[in-house]
Amino acid sequence: MKLRTQTANTIKHIGQRNILLGTIILTLAGFITRVIGFFYKIFLSKVMGSEWLGIYQLIFPVYGIAFTIYATGIQTSISRLVAAEMGKRNHKNVGKILRLGLLLSVTIAAILTLLLYKFSDIVAYRFLLEPRSASSLRILAVVFPFCAVTSSINGYYYGLKKAGVPASTQLVEQVIRVIVVYIAAYTMGNGNHLVTCEMAVLGLVIGEIASSLYNFFSLFITKSPKDLISLGPNSSAIPVRRRKIIKEIIISSIPLSTNRLLINILHSIEAVLIPAMLRRFGLSTKEALSTYGTLVGMSMPFIMFPTALINALAVLLLPTISEAQAMENEYLIGKTSSVSIKYSLLIGIISTGVFLLFGNNLGICIFNNQEAGRYLVILAWICPLIYLTTTLGSIINGLGKTNITFINSILGTFVKIIIIIILVPKTGIKGYLSALLIGQLIITFMDSFYIIRIIRFKFDAVNTLLKPGIIVAMAGFLIKSIYEYFKKITQIHQTVFLLSFCLLFCVVCIIIFAITNSVSKSDFK
C-alpha cells in the first residue's frame, strides 16, 4: 500500500512537472511565433491592402475544413493512444500507433489535394463567393500531405509530453514562410497585389513543407519511448495488433473529425457570410472585403496573441487528463483542471485591460487604421471567454467527451450565424461583433456547466476574478494616465513607446497578482 501511494505521488508530481515544462516550452515558441506572425501580418496589410488581405483570409476556411478531415481527429487519437500506452509503461505499441496514424492521415490528405486542385474554380466561385481566390487555392492544395505528416508526428510528441519538437516546428514553419514571402514580394511581386497574395500562400506552403521535413527527421535523433520510462515487474508491455490499433484510431478519430468538420463548415459559412451580409448593408464589394480584412487580418491577431500561452496549455492538457483518467487519478484531473482554468481567466483579464486601455492607439500606431483600433476595444471583453473556452474544451476532450464540445460549439456557432444574417444587413459590422460575443458566451457557459458537473475542483473566485479585476482596473488607470502624459513629450518612436507601456502594464499586474497571492507557487505543487 505504501509503495502504491509513493508511486501515485511520483506520477502526480511528474505529470505536473511535465505539463508545466511543456507549457513553458510551447509558450516560448508560441510567443516567438506570434511575434514573427504579428509583424508578418503588418507587412501583408501594407503590401496587399485591406481588400486583398480579406481575400487572403478567405482561403483559410478551406484550409481549416481540409485539415479537420485529414489531421485533427487522427492527431488527437495518436496523442491519446500514445499517452495511454505510456501511462501503462508500455512502449512497444507507441511506434505502431504513429506509423499507422501517419499512413491514414497522409492518404486522406493526398486525396483532398487532388480534389481541391481540380475543383478550385468551383470552390472559389460557389463557396467562397470570390473567384479571385481560385489560384491561391490551387497553390494551397499542395500542402495537405505535408501538414498531415507534421500533425501526426506532433500528436505523437504531445502524447509523450515532449513539447520541444512541436515547438521548434512552429518556429521553422513561421520563419521559412516569412522569408519566402519577403523575397517573393520584393523580387517577383513588382507591385502587383495579386501576385503578392499568391506568394503569401506559396510562403505558407513552403514553410509547411520545411517544417514537415524537420519534424520527420527529428524522429531519428530524439529519444525513443523506451528510454523515457522504466519498465518494472508490473509493466503491462503487451504488443497490440496493427488491425486493432487502426480500429482504435478510426473509432476515436471519426467522431472528433466529424464533429470538427461540421464546426469548421459552420465557421466557414460564418466567414463567407460576413462580406456578403456587409454588401447587403450597403457596402461595395471592395468596402466589404476591406472591412472583413481589417477585422480578421488586423484586429483579431491582436486579440488572439495571448493564446500562445493558452494553446500551449490546452495541447498539453489533453494527454495529461487522458493519462490521469486511465490511471483513475481524480485528484490529478481536478488539480490540473483547476490551475488551467484559473490561469486562463487571469490571462484573459489582463488582455481585456490591455485592449481596453490601448486598443485605439494600437490600431493607429501599428496598422495606421483607426477602425482596427475601434474593433480592438470592442473585442476586448471577449478575451476571457475565448481563452477559457479553449482550456475547457481541451479538458473535456481529454476525458474523451468530444461529443460535448461538439454540441456546445455547434449551438454557439449556429446562433452566431443566425444573428449575422439578421443583424449585419441592418447594423453592419456591429451586428457581427454582437454575434461574436453572444455565440462565445453560449459556448463558454455550456462548457463550464458540464465541467462543474463531472469534475471536482476548487475555484477561488476571489483570487481568480475579484482581486485580479480590481488590480487590472487600478493599475490600468494609473499606467494609462502616465502614458498619456509622457506621450506628449517623449522623443521615442510612438509604436515602441506604446508597446513598452502595454508590456509594463502586464508586468505590473503580474507582480501585484503575486504580492496579493492571486498567483502562487502552490498552484503547481
Residue 485 confidence (pLDDT): 86
DSSP 3-state of 42: helix
Residue 268 confidence (pLDDT): 87
Distance CA 68, CA 267 (A): 12
- How far from 522 is each of 230, 296, 339, 497, CA to CA, in Å? 29, 39, 10, 36
Distance CA 254, CA 49 (A): 40
- Contacts with 425 (C-beta within 8 Å, 6 or more apart), sequence order: 277, 280, 281, 431
The full DSSP string for 268-289 is HHHHHHHHHHHHHHT--HHHHH
Distance CA 233, CA 226 (A): 15
State which amino acid sits at residue 490.
T
Distance CA 85, CA 225 (A): 10
Does residue 235 carry a pLDDT above 50? no
Residue 51 confidence (pLDDT): 80
Q: Where are the alpha helices (DSSP H) in 327-401?
A: 330-367, 370-379, 383-398
Q: State percent of the chain over pLDDT 90.
A: 26
pLDDT digits (tens, 9 = 90+) for 414-424: 999 999 999 99
DSSP 3-state of 462: helix
Residue 480 confidence (pLDDT): 92
Average pLDDT, the chain: 81
pLDDT digits (tens, 9 = 90+) for 103-134: 999 999 999 999 999 999 999 988 888 888 89
Angle ∠(407,411,416) on CA atoms, nearest 5: 150
The full DSSP string for 139-204 is HHHTTHHHHHHHHHHHHHHHHHT--HHHHHHHHHHHHHHHHHHHHHIIIIITT-HHHHHHHHHHHH
Distance CA 166, CA 162 (A): 8
Contact at 8 Å (CB) between 25 and 308?
Answer: no
Average pLDDT estimate for 145-158: 90
Give the residue extent of every domain in the chain. Answer: 7-226+239-459
Residue 5 confidence (pLDDT): 44
Of 42-46, 89-93, 105-109, least confident by mean pLDDT is 89-93
- Contacts with 426 (C-beta within 8 Å, 6 or more apart), sequence order: 281
Distance CA 103, CA 96 (A): 11
Does residue 171 carry a pLDDT above 90? no
- How sure is the predictor about 349, in pLDDT bands with cuts at 50, 70 and 90? very high
CA atoms within 13 A on the CB side of 151: 24
Average pLDDT estimate for 311-333: 68
Candidates 509, 519, 506, 505; CA nearest to 463 is: 519
Does residue 195 carry a pLDDT above 70? no
